[in-house]
């Protein structure tokens, strides 16, 4: 995603990060939903084809996604997300119409701080949810009025964060499933990408955890690359934060 990546100061930290346990979530439940903007033809963490951007896609919070970088078991999975209510607004907003959307996970929402993607197996995010779906929106694949609002009451239309319910569904229900070009991963990335058409938890059609297999990759950006600044975390600060998250 277009967020500052983790950058570890020592190999010890990288080793600790791969020892994390992932969230084992049920096939249906509750989650939060946020949204972010993805540039056209951007290749996200899973390495899915850029044609997938023409259909509803989302990033999944790190500990549910199953990897701290690149691809993980969450890649390619499809979920039916239903908007329930907002909770940061005063008063909370309960829409009078039910809005649902089937998305495909193509990206990772990194763990960090107290954000919406900060849930761990032992600690939910600030809304009490263990999963956050970060929807690619605005998007040509999603109507501009997908998120209900009441501007006359609140003075704005974008609530930012929603409570949702989710159901794991077959990707045959995803709008892009019948378009072969929207399925699979970018060929030129080879084994550096993993984006199953319809993962079922079988090892033959579900991505492994890249960070468990490879650790955290080194920072190899060139000086001329367009990137956000990265703050190197002191080792002791990281270890303290890691232990608190367990």
Question: Residue 182: inside a domain, yes or no?
Answer: yes
pLDDT for 181 equals 97
pLDDT for 131 equals 98
Strands (E), the chain: 28-36, 57-61, 78-85, 100-109, 132-136, 162-169
pLDDT for 16 equals 38
Q: Using CA atoms, how far apart are residues 147 and 83, in angstroms rounded to an integer? A: 8
pLDDT for 11 equals 35
pLDDT for 200 equals 94
Question: Residue 180: inside a domain, yes or no?
Answer: yes
Question: Residue 150: inside a domain, yes or no?
Answer: yes
pLDDT for 218 equals 53
Question: Residue 73: inside a domain, yes or no?
Answer: yes
Question: Measured between alpha carbons, how far is residue 62 from residues 23, 117, 155 in Å?
Answer: 9, 7, 33
pLDDT for 62 equals 98
Strands (E), 41-124: 57-61, 78-85, 100-109
pLDDT for 7 equals 29
Domain count for the chain, please give it.
Answer: 1
pTM above 0.75?
Answer: yes
Q: Using CA atoms, how far apart are residues 130 and 145, in angstroms rounded to an integer? A: 27
How many beta carbons lie within 10 A of that of residue 45, not counting itself?
27
pLDDT for 217 equals 54
Question: Residue 241: inside a domain, yes or no?
Answer: no
- The domain of 147 spans 26-200
pLDDT for 1 equals 52
Spell out, as residue ranges, where the chain has pLDDT lower than 50: 2-19, 219-246
pLDDT for 214 equals 86
Question: Residue 89: inside a domain, yes or no?
Answer: yes
pLDDT for 31 equals 99
> Which CATH number characterizes residue 93's domain?
2.40.40.10
Question: Residue 231: inside a domain, yes or no?
Answer: no
Question: Residue 130: inside a domain, yes or no?
Answer: yes
């Amino acid at each position: 995603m277009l967020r500052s990546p983790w950058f570890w100061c020592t190999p010890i930290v990288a080793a600790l990060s791969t020892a994390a346990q992932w969230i084992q979530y049920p096939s249906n439940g509750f989650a939060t939903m946020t949204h972010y903007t993805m540039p056209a033809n951007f290749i996200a963490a899973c390495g899915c084809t850029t044609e997938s951007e023409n259909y509803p896609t989302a990033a999944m919070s790190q500990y549910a996604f199953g990897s701290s970088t690149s691809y993980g078991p969450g890649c390619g999975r499809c979920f039916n997300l239903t908007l329930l209510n907002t909770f940061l607004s005063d008063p909370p907003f309960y829409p009078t119409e039910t809005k649902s959307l089937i998305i495909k996970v193509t990206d990772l929402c990194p763990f960090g701080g107290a954000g919406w993607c900060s849930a761990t197996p032992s600690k939910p995010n600030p809304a009490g949810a263990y999963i956050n779906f970060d929807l690619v929106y605005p998007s040509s694949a999603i109507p501009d009025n997908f998120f209900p609002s009441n501007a006359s009451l609140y003075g704005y239309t974008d609530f930012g964060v929603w409570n949702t319910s989710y159901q794991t569904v077959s990707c045959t229900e995803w709008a892009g499933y019948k378009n072969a070009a929207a399925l699979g991963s970018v060929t030129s990335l080879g084994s550096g990408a993993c984006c199953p058409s319809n993962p079922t938890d079988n090892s033959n059609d579900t991505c492994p955890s890249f960070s468990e297999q490879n650790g955290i990759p080194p920072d190899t950006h060139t000086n001329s690359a367009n990137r956000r600044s990265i703050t190197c975390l002191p080792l002791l600060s990281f270890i303290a934060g890691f232990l608190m998250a367990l």
